[in-house]
Structure 1
Amino acid sequence: MATTSSFLARGKFSIAIVGATGRLGKTITSTLSTTYKYQFSRIIALTRDESSDVARDLSRLQGVEVRVVSFTDSYNEGYISRVLQNVDVVVNVLGAGASVSEKDAVLEASIKARARIYFPSEFGVDHRNNDKIFPSFDHLEWIKKRKHLKLADELVKQHGSDTKIVSIYCGLFLEMVFAVTGLDISTYTFSYLAPSPAPPFPRVSITSTQDVAHAIASLIPIFMAPQDLSTSLPTHIRLAGTLHTVPEIADIYKKVTGEEIKLDRKDVSEVKEKLREEMKVEGTEWRGAPGGHIQIIMGEGMLDFTDNDNELVNPGGARWVWKGVEEYIRELQQQK
């Protein structure tokens, strides 16, 4: 009740989405400007290319301001800071293609502008314990993410800022679940990792980009509450739109499509050791696609977000209905 009252007293919030034309950024921007438009006074979509089809689509949304931003010169570093002045919330959804310096520039500008909330570019694996899963052979992208979070803490202290750093981990994106879990449509085969012997099979957290957008909208008024109310909140948020094992996903696929799925299970410990040996050759920081690492994390049960914060963002499922695998497959079938 106190959180709701503080939200009503505060009025609408201003928000900037950095990387707004990416897959997740586009969904966040469009969802906030439609379903949650009552919650925001300004929605600023930052992109490198305002001429792209996605940028033009976003510019047509009521209340969305599309701004071009570049990280190639000092003028634009200052420009980011100016754009973020008087912005309450910054959502950094710059993808893996963005450099460390670019993501850090957004972070520093957000803190200097005294944004109330900063969402770093996470939205995937909860990598905080990866040093235990991949001792000396973690993926470079997660190493960079942890350095970014460390820098965030340092900058908050350095500038005496009240900015809250709120990380969201959603497991696998529903829209990419088949590619990551190993479904080969041409042979209708699921290749996946699990402990040997199996079962039990590890469960995997799967969350749609739309549900991530809902969660962000839900978290903002909660973290904008007075300091004494918001300081006790978790700043690492784990979401689980749905939880399934790979065999369960195969069963759902068959139920919807009628196609029989073959399961090709491999021992996760053997694959993990092979990756360790490969990285002795490649170096200590793996720079390729993270798919192999993600499959190992899945196979070891580290993407099972049974312990999650769903009730914080969507108590009792009253605010929205989480999107599931079956609904997604039915949508794909309708598009054929």
Structure 2
Amino acid sequence: MSSSSINVVVAGGTGHLGKLISKTLLSPVYRPGQINRVVVLSRDDSSSVAQELKALGAEIHTGPVQADTLKGIDVVINAWGFMVPGDIKNALVRAAVDAGVKVYFPSEFGVDPRTLDVEAKIFASKVEQTDYAREVGKGALKVVEIYNGGFLGQIAQYAPAVGIDIPNKTVTSVGQGSATARVTFTSERDIAYSTVRFAILAAQDPSSVADKVCISGTNASWSHLAELLSKEVGTKFEVKELDDAPLRKKIEEGDFIAALRYAYGKGHVDLTTGQTSNELVNPGQELWKWETVEEYVKKTNGLSPA
């Protein structure tokens, strides 16, 4: 083990994104040279994912999280989703501070809710959790927010909900001029790779990583997506734009998908307009190649099951 290798905890490390982060930490690329211990917080240590991670070398922890649980840990990555109560996330932060953890990644990812021009209650808990971590950490705990735009791997999963109608060959965006608005998407694999790189860099030198970082795996407007789908399936997709007023109401009522569609159409998820940290975590794409929307459309056979 290298003297510079670090110990990492992944809360929700068996979940959708968490398991990819856990596997990356446990991969020969980083372990044992740069990563020493990997502790996964999970509700069920008997699950197939937990057992798989354990076989790869992870320590699975299912009990309450206290300072003793995080003793000797350098980085805590929170990959818990919306369903985990705020008091549990707050307890994780307090334990991290008491244990002397160096770096904490709150469960942000996705869209930065502070950029929206409409109140999105569904994102309010994310903001509160991050603010709480900084308040309790008092500067001793480095808090790093990661934003990656949309999840590339969920376009097919949520295609109808976000306005992609495969049977009727239409792509519908929200807002005037929204069809040409660029949207940043990052694959879950690339988010995991980037999170691990941020963790290593921030643990070694907190000043090397900003408090808020953005990564941009690929970019596409709904018009471009329609072109890609048309080419892949051999049938032209029509592009439509909807009035955003109905979605604003749904957003205020806490509709997550409505908030995403609004953010996409309004250009709030175009991370190319600001400085990204792509080169910091993956200089010159020497460590991996970012997955593109073109590759994703082909892989999913035009967003359809194989």
TM norm. shorter chain > 0.5: yes
Higher mean alpha-carbon deviation, 87-96 vs 8-17, is at 8-17
Change (3 A) 1:232 1:30: closer
Query: Shift in Å at residue 25 of structure 1?
Result: 0.4
Check the 8 A contact 2:121/2:253 in 1, yes or no.
Answer: yes
Change (3 A) 1:335 1:32: farther
Query: Shift in Å at residue 123 of structure 1?
Result: 0.8
Q: Give aligned-pair identity as a percent.
A: 31
Please name the residue that 1:174 is paired with: 152
For residue 51 of structure 2, the aligned residue among 53, 56, 61 is 56
Two-structure CA RMSD over aligned residues (Å)? 2.3
Please name the residue that 2:269 is paired with: 303
Check the 8 A contact 2:6/2:203 in 1, yes or no.
Answer: no
**1:213-292 matches, cutoff 5 A:** 213-226=192-205, 230-231=206-207, 233-267=209-243, 271=244, 273-277=245-249, 286-287=253-254, 289-292=255-258
Q: Which whole-Å CA distance do the structure 2 matches of 1:150 and 1:190 have between them?
A: 37
1:162 correspondence with 2:162: no
| 1:183-231 deviation digits (Å, cap 9, x = unpaired) | 12332322211424x76x11001001111111112212321234xxx43
Q: Which whole-Å CA distance do the structure 2 matches of 1:36 and 1:225 have between them?
A: 14
For residue 114 of structure 1, the aligned residue among 100, 111, 118 is 100
One-letter amino acid of the structure 1 residue matched with residue 265 of structure 2: G
| 1:232-267 deviation digits (Å, cap 9, x = unpaired) | 642101111001101111222233333432222213
1:329 correspondence with 2:297: yes
Task: Name structure 1 gaps, 5 residues minimum.
Answer: 1-7, 70-75, 280-284
Query: Shift in Å at residue 152 of structure 1?
Result: 1.2
Q: Give 1 or 2: higher helix fraction.
A: 1
Please name the residue that 2:122 is paired with: 141
Please name the residue that 1:204 is paired with: 183
Q: Which whole-Å CA distance do the structure 1 matches of 2:228 and 2:247 have between them?
A: 31
1:293 correspondence with 2:281: no
Output the TM-score relative to the length of structure 2. Answer: 0.89
Number of residue pairs matched?
297
Please name the residue that 1:102 is paired with: 88
Query: Shift in Å at residue 93 of structure 1?
Result: 0.6
Check the 8 A contact 2:247/2:262 in 1, yes or no.
Answer: no
| 1:279-309 deviation digits (Å, cap 9, x = unpaired) | 7xxxxx633x411111111111110000222
1:42 correspondence with 2:21: no
Please name the residue that 1:68 is paired with: 62
Check the 8 A contact 1:177/1:206 in 2, yes or no.
Answer: no
Output the TM-score relative to the length of structure 1. Answer: 0.81
Query: Shift in Å at residue 101 of structure 1?
Result: 0.8
Query: Shift in Å at residue 329 of structure 1?
Result: 2.8
Aligned to 2:113, the other structure's residue is in SS state: coil
One-letter amino acid of the structure 2 residue matched with residue 256 of structure 1: E
Check the 8 A contact 2:66/2:95 in 1, yes or no.
Answer: yes
Change (3 A) 1:329 1:129: closer
